[in-house]
Structure 1
Amino acid sequence: MKLDHTAAGVYAIAATPFHPDGRLDTASVDRLTDFYVECGVTGLTILGIMGEAPKLEPEESLAITRQVVKRAGVPIIVGVSAPGFAAMRSLARSAMDLGAAGVMIAPPPSLRTDDQIVGYYAQAVEAIGDDIPFVIQDYPLTLTVVMTPGVIRRIVMDHPSCVMLKHEDWPGLEKISRLRAFQAAGEMKPISILCGNGGLFLDFEMERGADGAMTGYAFPDMLVDVVKLQKAGRRDDAHDLFDAHLPLVRYEQQQGIGLAVRKYVLQKRGAIAHDAQRRPASGLTPAAKAEIDYLLGRVARYDARAKI
């Protein structure tokens, strides 16, 4: 199931479950994988930023990849970003050998010029091999690397193995429109565009030409429904459902505690046994948990899945 430019729908960014003492919770890895699949996701992305990948040992990264690929039955994208290309190559080649569909590569924060960004991806492809389909992660809010539509086009056109953009620019609607205009004019080969940022702009991103979402909001089933409704031309229904969840989506996007919020809700939904993060980690105060519970109650007025 190698990834290609036709990928669409929702690829959930998977959390990584831990026990309170920091050990991997392998039972919850299966439990969470089943949860995502039952929510109707098209695929999964593991070992991303919200998957706490930098906190994992190399052996743990491979163990999680092996476990998820074996269980999921849907395409798996593996985050392989690393400070050096040797580690990136090792994880990428091993993940593909285990049955992954492709890999995701984020630019290091040190990149500043267009040529530096393009050059970095050229070196990354040389390192992992041009037979591995890869995803560009465009996340300037966290990575501080700004990719213009022109830079993305250069990377896409330089590398046939580049099949997807994980679009997380903010604001980024015009970027989607520009990339699709390149494609319509024959100036860029087709690529899949899946959007992140917790789904915060998914309602309009779909209308600008995105193929779906790649994010980790704790209600991936809502994201699946919004994508389906938009593709069916049911614009108002899509926005109504999205709007009901928007206050919780916004709350989950807080810098510093976003992952804690997400894991708290996933635990309440029964997807993981513990909401623990591996240190260094942030936690939720009783006041924050009460606010989340309040928001869940409000969402449940429209969407019964939030009655937890």
Structure 2
Amino acid sequence: MLDETAKGVFTIAATPFLPDGALDFDSIDRMVDAYIEKGADGLTILGMMGEAGKLSAEESVAVVRRVTARCQVPVIVGVSASGFAAITALSNEAMEAGADGVMVAPPMGLQTDAQITNYFHSAADALGDIPFVLQDFPLATGVQISPSVILRIVEDCPTCVMLKHEDWPGLEKISALRKASDACGRRISILCGNGGMFLLEEMIRGADGAMTGFGYPEMMRQVLDAFLADKLDRARDIFDAYMPMIRYESQPGMGLAIRKYSLARQGIIAHPTLRKPGAGLTAAAITEIDVLTLRQEKRLAELGL
């Protein structure tokens, strides 16, 4: 069961599709194996990268069951929805299938601190004993959650055990949350996203690891291992080798297509298909990704990776 001590790399998993848009279960199996082989301490499925909003309720449950049956590491399931009935239904199905917790993002439209706090109070009540991750991703949700509001939710909701931190810029938020926990506030796990764009700085500020879906998931493992071994220069060198691809992936509206292309290029999934609606890549973009990949491989070889 997910708790406040979670740390390391929780890779955000894509949802593989066949060219006709049907779920690709063989690729799910291969993807789960690859993520773990590349150093994942846990997996997060049906997040925004997982195209959860394009799946039916039955498909979502099928994906959860396939992943939990395949892997032995903790699994977190994204359950964000417009209403608590859907959140509760998928959460219960996920936990029965062997998931370790769920992730909830605030719905668009919440503007005041009171609205945000009340929403997560209600979410905690709806989930009961199920541990949950508070997903703080204002670039996608439009909901700005201040450190004081997060601390209030953490204090009031003991089943809130992790923050998925994706504010940008958000380093000062991590510092504020850790300052509060150092002053005897309840300390929860903080795992960070944004494609790993600020991973090293986030770790220095007090994050416990990464929860993101960068197309080369081994990057998070390699950077974290070097950081935890007090080899900060080594961590920076590794990060620098991947940085051009991280930057390219960060393009709004293209990130998922780029990631799926990279995963397919590595043989982790069979097809780079995005379920409609979803934009594919142009020939020019594919050429750019291929060039970046070759340069990345060269730099990693120079580092002995």
Any residues of structure 2 matched to 1:195-210 within 5 Å, and which? 195-210=192-207
Instruction: Name the stretch that deviates more: 270-279 or 296-305.
Output: 296-305
**Equivalent in the alignment of 2:157:** 159
Any residues of structure 2 matched to 1:2-41 within 5 Å, and which? 2-41=1-40
1:231 partner amino acid? L
* TM-score normalised by L of structure 2: 0.98
Any residues of structure 2 matched to 1:295-306 within 5 Å, and which? 295-304=292-301
> CA offset at residue 304 of structure 1?
4.1
1:223 partner amino acid? M
Q: Deviation digits for residues 72-108 of structure 1, max 9, x if unmatched?
A: 1100000000011000000001101111000000000
SS at match of 2:299: coil
**Equivalent in the alignment of 1:236:** 233
Q: Deviation digits for residues 15-50 of structure 1, max 9, x if unmatched?
A: 000011110001101011111011010000000001
**Equivalent in the alignment of 1:223:** 220
Any residues of structure 2 matched to 1:278-289 within 5 Å, and which? 278-289=275-286
SS at match of 1:251: helix
User: Following superposition, which runs of at least 4 residues in structure 1 exceed 4 angstroms of deviation?
Assistant: none
Q: Deviation digits for residues 35-72 of structure 1, max 9, x if unmatched?
A: 10110100000000010000001011001100100111
> CA offset at residue 232 of structure 1?
1.2
Q: Deviation digits for residues 176-202 of structure 1, max 9, x if unmatched?
A: 01100000011x201000000000000
> CA offset at residue 203 of structure 1?
1.2
Q: How far apart, in 1, do the equivalents of 2:36 and 2:119 lie?
A: 34
Q: How far apart, in 1, do the equivalents of 2:179 and 2:117 lie?
A: 21
> CA offset at residue 125 of structure 1?
1.1
Q: How far apart, in 1, do the equivalents of 2:298 and 2:27 lie?
A: 29
Q: How far apart, in 2, do the equivalents of 1:171 and 1:293 lie?
A: 29
* TM-score normalised by L of structure 1: 0.97
Alignment equivalent of 1:292, drawn from 243, 265, 289: 289
Q: How far apart, in 2, do the equivalents of 1:180 and 1:257 lie?
A: 33
Q: Deviation digits for residues 151-192 of structure 1, max 9, x if unmatched?
A: 000000001101100000000111001100000011x20100
Which consecutive unaligned segments of at least 5 residues does structure 2 have? none
**Equivalent in the alignment of 1:97:** 96
> CA offset at residue 229 of structure 1?
1.0
1:14 partner amino acid? A
SS at match of 1:205: helix
Q: How far apart, in 1, do the equivalents of 2:291 and 2:18 lie?
A: 26
Query: Is the 2:191–2:209 contact (alpha carbons within 8 Å) kept by the matching residues of 1?
Result: yes
Query: Is the 2:124–2:160 contact (alpha carbons within 8 Å) kept by the matching residues of 1?
Result: no
**Equivalent in the alignment of 1:133:** 131
Is residue 2:147 matched to residue 1:149? yes
Q: Deviation digits for residues 101-157 of structure 1, max 9, x if unmatched?
A: 00000000110000100000011111121x111000000011110011000000000
**Equivalent in the alignment of 2:85:** 86
Is residue 2:174 matched to residue 1:212? no
**Equivalent in the alignment of 1:56:** 55
Query: Is the 2:17–2:273 contact (alpha carbons within 8 Å) kept by the matching residues of 1?
Result: yes
**Equivalent in the alignment of 1:275:** 272
Q: How far apart, in 1, do the equivalents of 2:156 and 2:97 lie?
A: 27
Q: How far apart, in 1, do the equivalents of 2:71 and 2:112 lie?
A: 39
> CA offset at residue 254 of structure 1?
0.8
Q: How far apart, in 1, do the equivalents of 2:81 and 2:301 lie?
A: 40
Q: What is the aligned length? A: 302
2:292 partner amino acid? L
